[in-house]
Amino acid sequence: MKSLTTVRKKSPNYPVEFKIKMVELSHRPDISVAQLAREHGINGVVE
């Protein structure tokens, strides 16, 4: 009998500089976190 295994995708490792920039941009009143995430190709949901 065959067994199925689940392969979990590894989360990307973003450089610290990128993370800092995203946090700084997220504090701007003229852009939403969802919009910022879309523009940079990242998931806007934080777990």
pLDDT in tens, 4-42: 777 777 777 889 999 999 999 999 999 998 899 999 988
The count of domains in the chain is 1
In this structure, is residue 36 part of a structural domain? Answer: yes
In this structure, is residue 5 part of a structural domain? Answer: no
How high is the pLDDT of residue 19?
92
3-state secondary structure of 8: coil
Give the domain extent around 41.
13-47
d(CA 43, CA 45): 6
The single residue listed with the structure tokens 């806007």 is: 44
